[in-house]
Structure 1
Amino acid sequence: MLNKKGFMNNIGVQVVIAMIIGTMVGATMGESASMFAPLGTIFINLIKMLVIPLVAVALISGAAGLGNSSNAGKVGLSTLGYFGITSALAVALALFMGEIFEPGKGIDVSGVEGMFSSAYASKGELPTFWATITGMIPTNVFQSLNEANILQILVFCLFFGIGLSKLEKTRREPMLNAVNAIVDVMVWMINKVMIIAPIGVFGLMAEAVGTFGFGALMVVFKLFVVYVAAIVIFGFVAYPLMVGLFTKTSAKQFLVAMKKPQAVALSTASSMATLPVTMETVEKDLGVRNSTASFVLPLGATINMSGNAIYYGLVAIFFAQLFNIDLSIGAYIAIIVTSTLGAVGQAGVPGPSFLVVAVLLAAGIPIEGLPLLFALDRIFDMIRTALNITGDAACAVIVDAMVEEEHKKTVRTENQNA
């Protein structure tokens, strides 16, 4: 009886149950299920209220902790390298599965051609390299905080945290203690907000399913199935395998721990909104140090988008097959490069759907059919967000293990020299 009570009191279990009930209510009530939308809005707004301050103080704390060690540069480079490589691998997997299962072949579009539109051609311009770099540097950090410009907040807080780590100990410690105290307060507030998570998730799911239904899914059903299969392979095989190979944490332990943040990511469709839960899970359940988690996870929530990369790659293959276009090697390379780099520049693109435009244009694929996917973007977004935060957590575990091993080597060398 006690085990059953503990199981039902688990927030992850409650969120999954709320998702199922919300889906059933949305499917039954149809568009009138939008009456539950305010429940989801209240939950999301409470999370948003806390996320930006948490990201700011957590990054300062993490950067200060790393900046005072010899591993800071290695952690930064390893994190960025990991994000780039896994995103490229994700889109390569998507292209491979798209070619094997051919989700765009044999589809009759005669009944849905009325949804086609060429109005999105102007939406596909990605920021240039220098536009992305200059856009990351805030001219007014308070304006960046007000506008929730995550990349600019990230740059300032990392710089500030490293600067804090360079102060003499007597001046550094009181400030660092204050920052860590604020982190603890923010985590306490978020834990209280998470009590109403199942209610908010119910509202979000009821509205999403009730508004869009599953009818629109039929047109792109095969694409959806292949997409989910690719997400499952990367999230439940590739990432756990990496963790198992490069750390002492087992793949099973990693997967069990990630249930709760994955459930929250599915419901909110936001890596940033899920960040507090991801941080708590990575630190408490997977034993990652706060300095590593506070650096890697906010950075990952901003630029690590392997789930998006899979989506972009599969959509490109889907429309190429739909319009009977044979892709060249150059087109495949263009899809991989644009999908991988696009995630970093996503802050300058109005919504993830429009980044697909850039990928399609880069490969010379018609974009008229994109409105077929827009109604289902919420469902696609929920699933890819769950993979994105799984990748962030895997990176934190791997980088922390690498830093720990480096620290042990240094201690051994010092002891031998002594």
Structure 2
Amino acid sequence: MFKTIQHTLASVALIKQIAVGLVIGILIAVCFPAAIPVVKIFGDLFVKALKGVAPVLVFFLVMNAMAQRKENGNGSMKPIIGLYVMATFFASLVGVCMSFLFPTTLHLQVAADTKLAPPSGIIQVLHNLILSVVDNPVNALLSANYIGILAWAIIIGIAMKNIASGTTKGWLDDIAKTITKVVTWVIHFAPLGIMGLVADSVGTAGVEALIGYVQLLAVLIGSYFLVALVMNPIIVFSRIHMNPYPLILTTIRESGVYAFFTRSSAANIPVNLALCKRLGLNPDIFTISIPLGATINMSGASITISVLALAAAHTLGIDVDLPTALLLCIVSTVGACGASGVAGGSLLLIPVACASFGISNDISMQVVGVGFIISVLEDACETALNSSTDVLFTATAEYAERRKAGTLQAEDMVPHDH
């Protein structure tokens, strides 16, 4: 009986199972609200398991990639980082343009949350990022500090490459493969997890609170979609000179859907690593670029920061000229790169952008409060954009190299099931 069920599930694509879980979650929230606390457990367990295994997975995969690295077997990370930064900046431009086209004002009666501690400026954001690099490796793993995890994994991996014996490298490779296998087990619980997350979100969404911020949500979500379906395809096409939409839609469907419900770029790292593998990308590169992207590739966050900061400026009647708007794009880009890879991480960077308009911390923290009110939809869409583009630009950089070599085929942009 159990083997029959297991075989049946194995024959159905995981994305279809997730769709079923999504529908069931909505039905439970609408028809059986008393059951929400029960099914919510599945969602909490799924996200907790992903967050728990992700730091260990990243640490061993990156360390193994550096230790096993061949001198000419690894491409440069520069094209990927360049795409990350460029896309984040252009996304902030989209957010600023949308804000000018559809100026939004806020009802700033939301009480500031005194427990929040936003950075005092861009210098502090950069300072915190630099300190994260030299964090204690054990503490980095415990606190999911991915910058620190990446730094130590790279350093230890390079040291092992030059010092460790073949047996030790083989042992490290076995550990990396074992943890990857554990991650695949966790991911196969996604349908139950999504069911619980959806039921909880629909049951506790607070639609009444959202009604007053429909225009703000429309500007934000419209910006996310413009970036995902217009700007990103243009960037990808400029690199690979082929129809970008098969790859765009694949990353949205197979990465963005997970991230939409988990609302955490960090929790989506295992999902993105698995998708990169199915796309046939170079593991020496994607095992580094994906966790790095979860930290610095934040197109959605840059949109959120710029749109909410401009909404505050419009509310207060502050005239924003073109040079100030460009400065806001730069501030939003740098701030987004410092945003945490967890739910709502970008909201705490809003006061940094507001400060460029001379808006006081008391008022900017009320804007943060507005951000939390609409975060049910806003943060989910933002994270879906952030996380799906980690795979998108990692693939784009590699496909661009294949195009130059004349080996890129259209079928390369379709994931292969193993």
For normalisation by structure 1, the TM-score amounts to 0.83
Does residue 142 (structure 1) correspond to residue 100 (structure 2)? The answer is: no
Which of 357, 379, 382 aligns to 1:381? It is 379
Q: Which residue of 339, 345, 351 corresponds with 1:346?
A: 339
Deviates more, 1:203-212 or 1:115-124: 115-124
Give matches, 1:190-205, under 5 Å. Answer: 190-205=183-198
Distance 2:236 2:101 in 1: 28
| 1:41 pairs with 2:44 | yes
Partner of 2:412: none
Q: Which residue is 2:356 aligned to?
A: 362
Q: Percent identity?
A: 21
* 1:35 CA displacement: 4.4
Q: Tell me which residue corresponds to 2:270.
A: 276
Residue of structure 1 in register with 2:4 after alignment: none
What residue is the counterpart of 2:88 in the other structure?
87
1:184 partnered with 2:184:
no
* Residue matched to 1:371: 369
Change (3 A) 1:237 1:71: same
The one-character-per-residue Cα deviations of 1:319-352 (angstroms, maximum 9, x if unpaired) are: 2223322113453234212211113333599933
* Structure 2 equivalent of residue 13 of structure 1: 16
Alignment of 1:177-326 (within 5 A): 177-247=170-240, 250-258=243-251, 259-284=253-278, 286-326=279-319
Q: Which range moved further: 272-281 or 368-377?
A: 368-377
> What is the Cα-based RMSD across aligned positions, in Å?
3.1
* Equivalent residue in structure 1 for 2:157, among 155, 161, 177: 161
8 Å CA contact retained: 1:334, 1:359: no
> Are 2:120 and 1:125 equivalent residues in the alignment?
yes
> Which whole-Å deviations, capped at 9, do the CAs of 1:136-176 have from their partners, x for residues lacking one?
212x3122222222111111112222333445xxx554444
Residues 1:124 and 1:145: Cα distance change in structure 2 (over 3 Å): closer
SS of aligned partner of 1:327: coil
- Taking the aligned partners of 1:311 and 1:46, their CA distance within structure 2 comes to 28
CA displacement, residues 92-117 of structure 1 (integer Å, 9 cap, x when unaligned): 1100011112233xx7x4xxx54344
* Deviations 1:186-240 (CA, angstroms, capped at 9, x unpaired): 2221222222211111211222232233221111111111211211121123223
The Cα shift of 1:371 comes to 2.0
Counterparts of 2:242 and 2:385, CA distance in 1: 19
Matches of 1:337 and 1:260 in 2, distance apart? 30
Q: Is the 8 Å Cα contact of residues 335 and 362 (structure 1) preserved in structure 2?
A: yes
Long gaps (5+) in structure 2:
1-7, 408-418
Unaligned runs of 5+ in 1: 410-418
TM-superposed CA distance for 1:355, in Å, is 1.3
Cα separation, 1, equivalents of 2:404 and 2:60: 26
Displacement of 1:135 in angstroms is 3.0
| Structure 1 pair 338–32 and aligned structure 2 pair: CA distance change class (3 A) | farther
CA distance in 2, matches of 1:137, 1:296: 19
Would the alpha carbon gap of residues 215 and 20 (structure 1) be closer, same or farther in structure 2, given more than 3 Å must change? farther
Q: Aligned-pair distance for 1:71?
A: 5.8
Q: Pick closer, same or farther for the CA change 1:358–1:261 going to 2, 3 Å.
A: same
* Distance (Å, rounded) in 2 between the aligned partners of 1:243 and 1:64: 31
- The one-letter amino acid paired with 1:78 is P
Q: Is the 8 A contact 2:55 2:141 kept in 1?
A: yes
Contact 2:296 2:337 (8 Å CA) reproduced: yes
Q: Secondary structure at the match of 1:215?
A: helix
**Alpha-carbon contact 2:113-2:369 (below 8 Å) kept:** no
Partner amino acid for 1:326? D
Letter in 1 for 2:21: A
Q: Tell which deviates more after alignment, 274-283 or 356-365.
A: 356-365
Go from structure 1 to structure 2 and tell me whether the alpha carbon gap of 1:348 and 1:361 turns closer, same or farther (over 3 Å shift).
farther
Count residues with an aligned counterpart.
392
